[in-house]
Amino acid sequence: MKEIDQLLLSNRAWAAEMLAENPEFFNRNVNWQRPAFLWIGCSDSRVAPDQMTQAVPGGLFVHRNIANLVYPDDRNLMAVLDYAVNVLEVEHVVICGHYGCGGIQAALDGAPEGAIAHWLKHARQVLNDHRSEIEALPEGEERVNRLVEVNVRDQLLHLAGAGPVQKAFQAGRPLSLHGWVYDLRDGHIKPLMRIDKDTILSEVPKPERVLV
């Protein structure tokens, strides 16, 4: 059977199972969503936020891109952020990277020319900002995984400075930003840092190394 057909069959089986457990499972999400979280993560196929958090449909508002990057001229992400914060009124925004990230590896190695190289210029900037620490580590996984961690930190700072977040902070709304890393080896999420309206952004330190 072709893989695409299997996806459709699996969808039918899942829908039938959900209805058997709760006849109102789909009706409750037809008219509106009220997630508590905006999840900004990597596009990597091994990192599925709904699955690894066991979130129900409607629990996570999700945006994913290669290497979980945040920058102000990404209109797609800024639209997602604006909608999540100002319309859905989420109280938590998570940036979740993952160890062994191919995008971060490409930023270290030098991505080939094209759209990926253009996209990863922001990840290479993270590398440049932390180059002395990264290059002091042995080549290979240690460098990649430490760059994953400091990338989450730097992207969280970009997020904290974005207009919708600053507006919510200034209004005193209960909004918190969380920097996490997912470990492919054991399936665990490792919290790195947290930012809220009282955080002085210029004083946010680099996170302690979680994976050593």
pLDDT tens for each residue of 190-211: 999 999 999 998 888 888 777 6
- Same domain? 54 vs 118: yes
Active site residues: 42, 44, 46, 98, 101
Report yes or no on 13 lying in a domain. Answer: yes
Q: What is the Cα–Cα distance from 94 to 49, expressed in whole angstroms?
A: 11
pLDDT tens-digit readout, 35-59: 999 999 999 999 999 999 988 888 8
CB count, 10 Å around CB of 163? 12
Whether the per-residue pLDDT at 9 is higher than 80: the answer is yes
Average pLDDT over residues 56-78: 93
Q: What percent of the chain has pLDDT over 70?
A: 97
Q: What is the Cα–Cα distance from 212 to 200, expressed in whole angstroms?
A: 28
- Same domain? 61 vs 13: no
Q: Which residues contact 41 (CB under 8 A, 6 or more apart)?
A: 47, 49, 62, 63, 64, 68, 94, 95, 96, 97, 98, 182
DSSP string, 172-187: T---EEEEEEE-TTT-
pTM: 0.89
- Same domain? 157 vs 59: yes
Average pLDDT over residues 117-143: 94
- Same domain? 52 vs 149: yes
Instruction: Give the count of domains, the chain.
Output: 2
Q: Which residues pair with 92 in a beta bridge?
A: 37, 176
- Furthest C-alpha separation in the chain: 57
**What is the chain's mean pLDDT, rounded?**
91
